[in-house]
DNA sequence: TATTGTTATACTCTATAACTATA
DNA sequence: TATAGTTATAGAGTATAACAATA
């Protein structure tokens, strides 16, 4: 499918890169969601557990920032995760306003399953691509993310 | 941020490419959504209007496939679009089961505004990248999309 | 019977606004 | 007053299942 024809007067030899990214991401995310769901999780759960495991998170605000969602949205997810026994929340004795989120054993087990799904997903994605190509792709994507939030126009 | 440390025993020098793609897409999509909303639209609306304008769509099923959503989901959007006067639906005289979706003048005007937003978005995304780099990026993304749905593992 | 599309319903993710508790 | 987090509510997008109309 070519959309070039609709962009009258605009030099657009190929598909707009934003559209390609949107479509790719939609397809890839859907496949990833299915894998995460099969492993008993979801994308927000995976991102939250990953942030808890790999970052030194000082507060829920930090955690929300790390995941890229609002504090209220994080509360929503953490509520479900706490009810499911995946994390515990307790008030920081040093400052009872902030709460300390910790992974339970069950949370760790889910994390490991989701990590496995994530690794498998990634291995699959890399098929036919060299490490150099994947690394280059990552830098190009970083540039897009930067441009989306910082570039002028 | 490096997540390499959490992938014990897995050779993963850099971030998983799936995660990079997820984060990039989230950031870029959010920026695009804002632009489309400012122009009076949304991503599904844009994709539907784009498909109507650039493809020879024979039925709503075709249109849904082109956009990548279910028929019922498309009905949902078309309902709103018809109520907003952006499209009309009439039964195909040749086969009264299928319906013909057509853009109204108002729909065309919205299409043009969204196209403008899309072009601006794309121009912004390309900042600092050569045409060759963008083209290469597109082929890499195509590979990922293919791998997500076809590659074995 | 099979197909095209619609309607009813519900789920997930996200958000804003109002609120509580703490500093 | 300002900050950390929660709760209430809502909205967008998507989906499945049941349905109606047509072939």
Nucleotides of D under 7 A from a protein CB: 3-9, 12-18, 21-23
| pLDDT at residue A1 in the model | 39
Q: Which tokens sit at B144?
A: 């990922």
Q: Considering CB atoms only, which of B16, B21, B124 is closest to A147?
A: B124
Q: Which nucleotide is nearest to B42 (CA to C1')?
A: D12
- Residues B23, B33 contacting (CB under 8 angstroms): no
Q: Using a 7 Å CB cutoff, list residues 23-52 of A near strand D.
A: none
Q: Which tokens sit at A3?
A: 């959309």
Residue B16 pLDDT > 90, yes or no?
A: yes
- How many other C-beta atoms can be found within 10 angstroms of the C-beta atom of residue A127? 15
Cβ contacts (< 8 Å) between B7 and chain A: which residues? 115, 119
Contacts of A31 (CB under 8 A, 6+ apart): A121, B148, B149
Contacts of B11 (CB under 8 A, 6+ apart): none
pTM above 0.85, yes or no: yes
Q: Using a 7 Å CB cutoff, list residues 72-101 of A near strand D.
A: 72, 74-76, 78-79, 89, 97-99
| pLDDT at residue A57 in the model | 82
Answer positive or negative: Cα dihedral of B97, B63, B36, B109: negative
Cα dist from A5 to A55, B31, B40, B50, B51, whole Å: 47, 25, 23, 11, 12
B55 to chain A: closest CA residue: A1
C22: residue with closest CA to C1': A97
Please state, in angstroms and rounded to a whole number, the distance separating the CA atoms of residues B115 and B36: 9
Q: Nearest to residue B136, comparing CAs of A110, A66, A46, A20?
A: A20
**DSSP symbol at A12:** -
pLDDT digits (tens, 9 = 90+) for A50-98: 999 999 888 999 999 999 999 999 999 999 999 999 999 999 999 999 9
Is there contact between A73 and strand C, defined as CB under 7 Å from any strand atom? yes
Residue A45 pLDDT > 50, yes or no?
A: yes
| pLDDT at residue A13 in the model | 55
Q: Considering CB atoms only, which of A31, A118, A153 is closest to B149?
A: A31
pLDDT digits (tens, 9 = 90+) for B32-70: 999 999 999 999 999 999 999 999 888 999 999 999 999
Q: Which tokens sit at B37?
A: 């909303």
Å between CA of B104 and C1' of D19: 30
pLDDT digits (tens, 9 = 90+) for B97-146: 999 999 999 999 999 999 999 999 999 999 999 999 999 999 999 999 99
- How many other C-beta atoms can be found within 10 angstroms of the C-beta atom of residue B48? 28
The verdict on a CB contact (< 8 Å) between A149 and B54 is: no
Please state, in angstroms and rounded to a whole number, the distance separating the CA atoms of residues A110 and A84: 11
Q: How many residues does chain B have?
A: 153
- Residues B114, B105 contacting (CB under 8 angstroms): no
Q: What is the mean pLDDT of chain A?
A: 91
| pLDDT at residue B15 in the model | 86
């Amino acid at each position: 499918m070519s959309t070039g024809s609709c962009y009258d007067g605009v030099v657009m030899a190929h598909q707009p890169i934003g559209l390609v990214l949107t479509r790719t991401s939609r397809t890839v995310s859907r496949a990833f969601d299915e894998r995460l769901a099969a492993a008993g999780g979801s994308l927000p759960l995976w991102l939250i557990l990953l942030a808890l495991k790999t970052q030194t998170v000082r507060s829920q605000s930090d955690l929300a920032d790390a995941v890229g969602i609002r504090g209220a949205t994080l509360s929503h997810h953490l509520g479900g995760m706490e009810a499911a026994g995946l994390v515990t929340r307790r008030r920081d004795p040093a400052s009872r306003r902030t709460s300390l989120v910790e992974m339970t054993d069950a949370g760790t087990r889910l994390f490991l399953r989701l990590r496995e799904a994530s690794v498998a997903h990634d291995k699959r994605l890399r098929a036919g691509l060299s490490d150099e190509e994947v690394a280059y792709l990552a830098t190009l994507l970083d540039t897009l993310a930067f441009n989306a939030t910082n570039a002028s126009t």
